[in-house]
Amino acid sequence: MKKRRVVECNEDDYISKLPNSILCNILSSLKVREGVRTSTLSSIWEHIYANPTNLVLDGDNILKKDHLASNAWRYQSAEQRFEFNRDRTLAFVKNVNKYLSNVEHVEKIYRLSVCFTFGNGSTDLDEWIRFALKKKVEEIDLCLSEEENHLTAPNDASLHVFPCDIVGNNEGASEGASGFKSFLKCLRLAHCVLAPHMSYNHGFSTLTTLDLFRVDLKSEVHLQFLLSSCSNVEWLGLCECYNMETLRIEDPFCEKLKYLNVSLCQQLKKLVLHSNSLESLEYKGREVEFVFDAPRLTTFYSPVSDTAACHKKLWPILKLPTVLPQMETLILQCSCFMGEVMKNRLPALTFPWLRHLEVIKVATVRQDLGWVAIILKTCPVLRTLELHLRTYCCIDDEVSESEWPEEFSHEHLKEVVITGVRGHSSEIEIAIYLLRIASALEKMTIDPSAKVYLGKGKWGHEDILEDWRNKGREKVHKHLNQEANSSAVELLIKNSLVGSNEMNLIHSWYFVLVAPKSSPKHFTQMETLILQCSCFMGEVMKNRLPALTFPWLRHLEVIKVATVRQDLGWVAIILKTCPVLRTLELHLRTYCCIDDEVSESEWPEEFSHEHLKEVVITGVRGHSSEIEIAIYLLRIASALEKMTIDPSAKVYLGKGKWGHEDILEDWRNKGREKVHKHLNQEANSSAVELLINGKVQNHNAGAGVQQKR
């Protein structure tokens, strides 16, 4: 008989003995309604919730469950949806005003965050900003569109105008309309209008960070007023902003600016930089005119555009030696098909001072050695080379030197890092080639975890694929150890394995397919499953999955890469094995040219799935196979209520964390129009709420079609 374990209970309340300042910081991390509940614990806690250091005002924090944005899909008609949005807005404003009245005595607020779709703006929001400014707020974060929650974003005419006149003044005596001094250091705005007037722009002089996303700048005159006041800004981001054809950053404007991010501003035609402080530039978008006079600008990041025209010009790479001859760090993101272009165009270039180069390179066939050799020849003093590879094809066995470029000696390269290695012969050949030609090489690191650029200077890592564990690791060790033993290079081959705490993610369908009879038996109670599949699993799924059933599975996410058309067959099989599935998320990455025809000739047999209510498809570029999958699901899911199409690919980073890849140029040039054409036509015949990139598209499901700017 087992002895009962006795646990002594210590009745001392150590938490209540903490200083009030620490307790306030703890409660500031809770939701507002959860913080308020602590007032019932004891007399000590009665008023602590009313001393927050941060104000986080969003639907989840402020509203009851009935008013959450996730309930919007329940209302089919435009009138019902309008009433729901009006009621939740009134409830949100009422609850926030009541909460702020209880925290009126707070002396210092560090951060104000508001995430809510007001529809036609709100004068109350201006008062909340004024309240925070009075409390010496240092960070304001306003996101005025809950796109992730699938509520319709306000149209251009109803965008909220940020109240520049109440931000304050740093002049002491003449403190402007606000009547108090500004302590604001960080301002992040999304889905609003920012148009400072010459008379009311001094409050921005205290800012060190300004981040704008989908902000209407009204005119270049207003933009110049804004920049002229940002004398202390060090970090400036402009993403998908409009009413800006020329961006000029010239001394003495932004005289302390160190980092500039300009991304997908579709109306931009010219970027002029005359700055003695700027150190890093991140640019993504169409070809524009560069005029640079920035002697300290030594770090540049840019994806090479996917458009055919830019492929021929290799833009912006060909411009960089001319406009940035002093560049020391370059981060370059290339599409699948850039290897041949690099070999043809790069030999005419020289980057005389480049010391650190990172190349993010996807390939659907063998990685090509030629472009690596060309890159090294154009960078004569390069010291560090990082290749972040993702190779989506079957692992081949032979390592061959027959098609290697001519060897030469690079005398300055000291460190090489290659990530995303799975064991492809082409990856091993690149490593061996670098070991041989880099005469000064001191260290080489091989990492099976692919490094992913998330934007704004942030990186993530993808999970290690099954190929590495099954075959690739042994193959890499065999070839590279043999080569490195003949030199003094320090070779580090990382062998990271996934910990037991990540068993909630089955990295490959192979786990299920090996033992189709036993696997479901061990997971009969499973309700949520996340699966990551390789390129070639479609046929295997169709052959092996029909014998399985997941009786309680309600939420399924599939991460699926394809180097050719995505196959509809495996989608149908998945649904048949999950009879009570309610939510299906397909995170696709399709690396092949976009085709034009949407065909039903090879579709699997249609059937009726009676429980599927929501579908999310991410990473959509406009491939016909992606559209066919969406149409097929619209037809067979008889209970479907909502479908979301997102061009940004969702990437699993491990340990429960997700990231999003950038939207590819294909989507803007061709894919978006193609998806709208086919899916609107299909969804209009049903009551399904269709959202394409966060916008409600189906007339029958609510507001009318809204085109993105």
Please state the domain extents for the chain.
18-51, 298-395+408-495, 528-593+605-696
Per-chain mean pLDDT for the chain:
78
Tens of pLDDT, residues 124-159: 999 999 999 999 999 999 998 865 444 444 455 578
Tens of pLDDT, residues 452-505: 888 888 888 877 777 787 788 888 988 888 888 777 788 898 864 333 223 233
424 pLDDT more than 90: no
611 pLDDT more than 80: yes
Position 435 scores a pLDDT of 92
Position 103 scores a pLDDT of 82
Between 688 and 632, the more confident residue is 632
Report the alpha-carbon distance of residue 453 to residue 464 in Å, rounded.
Answer: 16
Give the whole-number percent of the chain exceeding pLDDT 70: 71
What single DSSP character describes residue 470? I
Instruction: Give the closest residue to 339 by CA, choosing from 391, 395, 398, 396.
Output: 391
- Asked if 302 and 316 count as a contact pair (C-beta separation under 8 A), the reply is yes
The predicted model gives 104-120 an average pLDDT of 84
Helix (H, G, I), strand (E, B) or coil at 188: strand
The predicted model gives 17-26 an average pLDDT of 65
Tens of pLDDT, residues 547-580: 678 888 889 988 887 766 776 677 888 888 888 9
The predicted model gives 631-645 an average pLDDT of 88
- Asked if 229 and 257 count as a contact pair (C-beta separation under 8 A), the reply is no
For domain 298-395+408-495, the CATH class is: alpha beta
- Asked if 466 and 535 count as a contact pair (C-beta separation under 8 A), the reply is no
Position 172 scores a pLDDT of 40
Q: Spell out the long-range contacts of 668-677 with Cβ–Cβ below 8 A and sequence spacing 24 or more.
A: 668/264, 668/266, 669/306, 669/307, 670/594, 670/622, 671/594, 671/620, 671/621, 671/622, 671/623, 671/647, 672/622, 672/647, 672/708, 674/594, 674/622, 674/627, 675/620, 675/622, 675/626, 675/627, 675/630, 675/645
The predicted model gives 3-32 an average pLDDT of 60
Report the alpha-carbon distance of residue 61 to residue 59 in Å, rounded.
Answer: 5
> Is the whole-model pTM more than 0.85?
no
Position 511 scores a pLDDT of 36
b/e for 216-231, b at 16 or more Cβ within 10 A?
A: bbbeeebbbbbbbbbb
110 pLDDT more than 70: yes
